[in-house]
Amino acid sequence: MVIKFITLGYAGFFVIAGINHFINPIYYDNIVPDFIPFPRFVHLFIGVIEIILPLLFFTKYRKEAALFMIAFLVILYIGNLNVWINDLPYGSRYLTNTQHFYRLLLQFFYIGIAYIIYLYE
C-alpha cells in the first residue's frame, strides 16, 4: 500500500515538472548543453517524456517504465552537469558547488525511487 502512495507522489511530481517545461520554457533554455541542437525543442520533448513516462507506472508496463525512468534520469543529469561545470543559471539564480552537489544527491534519490517502483508491483 505504501508503494502505491510513493508511486503516486513520484509520478505526480514528474508530471508537474513536465508541464512546467511548457509553462516556463525560458527557465530550461540555459540547461540544455550547447552541443545539442534545437535546445527549446529538446527540453520541451523532455517535458513530454516527464509527463508520459511516470503515467506508465499505472499500466502493465510499470517495470519497463521504471527502468526507462532510471535511464532517463541518468541522461537528464547531463543538463544539470552542464549547468554545474559551466556555471550557468537555473532560471535567474546561480547555485553554489554545495547546492550542485545536493542536486546530484537528489538525482540519485529520484533514481532510487524509480528502482523501488521497479522492484515492487
> Where are the domains positioned within the chain?
2-119
Q: How many whole angstroms separate alpha carbon 79 and alpha carbon 120?
A: 30
Whole-structure pTM value: 0.91
What digits encode the pLDDT tens for the residues 26-82?
888 878 888 889 999 999 999 999 999 999 999 999 999 999 999 999 999 988 999
**Residue 35 has which C-alpha cell?**
552541443
> What's the pLDDT score for residue 95?
94
Non-local (6+) Cβ contacts of 28 within 8 A are 21, 43, 46, 47
Q: How many whole angstroms separate alpha carbon 30 and alpha carbon 33?
A: 7
> What's the pLDDT score for residue 59?
96
> What's the pLDDT score for residue 121?
66
> What's the pLDDT score for residue 23?
96
Name the range with the highest mean pLDDT among 4-8, 31-35, 86-90. 4-8
Q: What angle do CA 92, 93, 97 make, to 5 degrees?
A: 150
